[in-house]
Structure 1
Amino acid sequence: MNEVKQFSAGHDDLIHDVAYDFYGKRLATCSSDQKIKVWDYDDETGEWLPNDSWKGHDSSVLRITWAHPEYGQVFATCSIDRTIRVWEEQDQEAKNGGRRWAEKARLADSKGTVQDIKFAPTHLGLKFASCGADGIVRMYEAMDVMQLGHWTLMDDIEVVPGAKDPEGQMCLSWCPSRFQPQMLAVGHGFMLTHASPTTTQIYRLDPHNKWLPHEVLTGHTDVVTDVAWAPNVGRSYQLIATACKDKCVRIFKLVEEGGRGTTGAAGFATGFATKAARKFRVLTVATFSDHAAEVWRVEWNVTGTVLSSSGDDGKVRLWKASFLDEWRCMSIISAEQNTNDFGENAMR
């Protein structure tokens, strides 16, 4: 049985996010203490060793996202201080000296807290999307991947017009498939009279390259705190998971309606253009309230077959579908008790 190993992150306040790099050999943490820490995994000892620690923002750091390693060791962070900052490793600097990671860019277009940030799939280039309390999704791209100090604001999507709710929350996730048009799942919760207070929508480009909302993932009764689009390995449909303050984890299936366009090497461009106008049928395949507390994070494994969720109950729960496509809890991990429990519904 896998062992849960603890290590002290050394932060002086609440840890908001932990993000692994592409290979899972390095992770970064961020906290309300305004610090960012990077850790390297030691294969020989099985321990996480500190790489560096530094004050990264002027307020609580909320999220971290790693770029694909083909662009080097690069990640971005966002904060309550309304900025996004891009960091790159400096190999010539000593580890744990506070200068190993250099700030390459600082983006301050948001009029409110920047609450989520995600790099796009690598086939879309070096770009990321951010969202926050001002109700706007912004997309930035490095037109020259060798010049990380220069990022162009490519799009801004007003998801919640006139958002002024200080308790408002936004989150997002890219569709990872290279065989679909660019799509984003955007979750939000704003207590506004002229808009749905909480929802998750699928955005994609129209033929005029304008981002528009399409399908809605329904069923949420409180603020959506996280959304995760599953990697698609051989499936004919898409899976999206959400975490919500209504104490539920939900899994949605997106089934493409209509026939498929021309694909393959010769017809890739034609198929891609056709897909831009397509629609998806949304099915709710699972709703779990096992956390019995507000759920804050959901994340898929690299094949999109196992979903992990965490919440205020202090537990990480792993979900997997049976051969009958029924989703069940396969494992419960409690870091405080250093346990890994397999319950009655475990998939063996």
Structure 2
Amino acid sequence: MTHTLQSFETGHTDMVHDIQLDYSGRRLATCSSDRTIKIFDVSGDQQMLVGDLQGHSGPVWQVAWAHAKYGSVLASCSFDNTVIVWQELEDGRWTKVYQTPPSLHTASVNSICWAPYELGLILACASSDGTVSVMEGHPDGTWDTRKIYAYINDVWALEHKLIEHSDWVLDVAWAPNMGLPKNTIASAGQDGKVLVWKERDKAGWDKVLVKDFQAPVWRLSWSITGNILAVSDASNNVSLWKESPTGKWQQVTQ
């Protein structure tokens, strides 16, 4: 049996920036400029508030659920330059299990994304300071943090910097490669540009401008096959884009 989730009042006192369902679709997390995160049980016909998480000192931009394999674990990122990892306890209470140190990022952390669960409890975090950090949680409850690196010979080393945006980078999204040997990344910025980066056979990346939206672009999402890119911009528009045989990106029309 299926049910339709209707609109409801979140209780936030400022703009809501992100909403995310957990792996099972039974919990909904929201975050807001009011500096809080709220957790709702949406498994029934009514929505019930089960968590009101307070720990950030600035607007909270995004939330991300870890895979159910790790229990009820939620990450959040904020204008206060930090990322917090929250976990639900057996009695239903939520607790902060980790917060990045103040020295890790020197500007707003705008986007977060969990790695495939098979790789472990690993979270990538993108910041306005121009860096991306990687966090890893361990079974003993400890966490490691480091900048973005390529894992080569058991050592993390900086691999590439993709430089093109003239303002904050607000989101990045890896395309599913469906077994192909090359990687594809989309990036979106405060400058209104959406770019697609493709890894070359040899060292380096090629970039293509999908479109200059003339407004900040907040979120990107690839289709499961990696051939369609969804774009959400600050003009309250959501559009779909597909690469043509000539390599240009065209909007998908209904």
Taking a change above 3 Å as real, the CA distance of residues 5 and 83 of structure 1, as seen in their structure-2 partners, is: same
Q: Name 1:12's counterpart in structure 2.
A: 13
Any idea what SS the aligned residue of 1:216 has? coil
Whole-angstrom CA distance in 2 between matches of 1:4 and 1:310: 21
Asked if 1 retains the 8 angstrom alpha-carbon contact of 2:210 and 2:249, the reply is no
Please tell me whether residue 152 in structure 1 is matched to residue 150 in structure 2.
no
CA distance in 1, matches of 2:23, 2:30: 15
Stretches of structure 2 lacking an aligned partner (at least 5 in a row): none
State the one-letter code of the partner of 1:287: V
Q: 1:20-79: CA deviations, max 9, x gaps?
A: 43455543211111211224444x86x8x3442414223322222221221112111122
Whether the 8 Å CA contact 1:25–1:40 is kept in 2: the answer is yes
2:98 maps to 1:105: yes
Of structures 1 and 2, the larger Rg is shown by 1
Aligned equivalents of 2:175, 2:248: Cα separation in 1: 17
Q: Which residue of 2 aligns with 1:292?
A: 214
For 1:309, which of 231, 240, 245 is the aligned residue? 231
Within a 5 Å distance, the mapping from 1:134-173 to structure 2 comes to 135-144=130-139, 147-148=140-141, 150-153=142-145, 155=146, 157=147
Query: Which letter maps to 1:288?
Result: K
- CA offset digits 1:226-268 (Å, max 9, x no partner): 21111222444322111123322222222433xxxxxxxxxxx
- How many angstroms apart in 1 are the aligned matches of 2:155 and 2:54? 35
Segments of 5+ residues of structure 1 without an aligned counterpart are 94-98, 158-183, 185-202, 258-278, 331-345
Q: What does 1:135-214 align with in structure 2 at a 5 Å threshold?
A: 135-144=130-139, 147-148=140-141, 150-153=142-145, 155=146, 157=147, 203-207=149-153, 209-214=155-160
- Tell me how large the CA RMSD over aligned residues is: 3.2
Count of aligned pairs: 248
Residues 41 and 231 (structure 1), Cα distance of their counterparts in 2 relative to 1, 3 Å cut: farther
Counterparts of 2:41 and 2:113, CA distance in 1: 21
Which is worse superposed, 15-24 or 53-62? 15-24
One of 180, 200, 216 as aligned partner of 2:162: 216
Q: For 1:214-253, what aligned pairs fall within 5 Å after superposition?
A: 214=160, 216=162, 218=164, 220-253=165-198
Closer/same/farther in 2, CA of residues 131 and 281 from structure 1, 3 Å limit: closer
Tell me the amino acid that sits aligned with residue 13 of structure 2: D
* Partners of 1:245 and 1:82 in 2: CA distance: 17
- Residue 210 of structure 2 aligns with an amino acid whose one-letter code is T
Correspondence list, 1:261-276, <5 A: none
What TM-score do the two structures reach when normalised by structure 1?
A: 0.60
Any conservation in 2 of the 1:217–1:282 contact (CA below 8 Å)?
A: no
> 1:82–1:222: structure 2 CA closer, same or farther, 3 Å change rule?
closer
Note the C-alpha offset of 1:211: 2.1
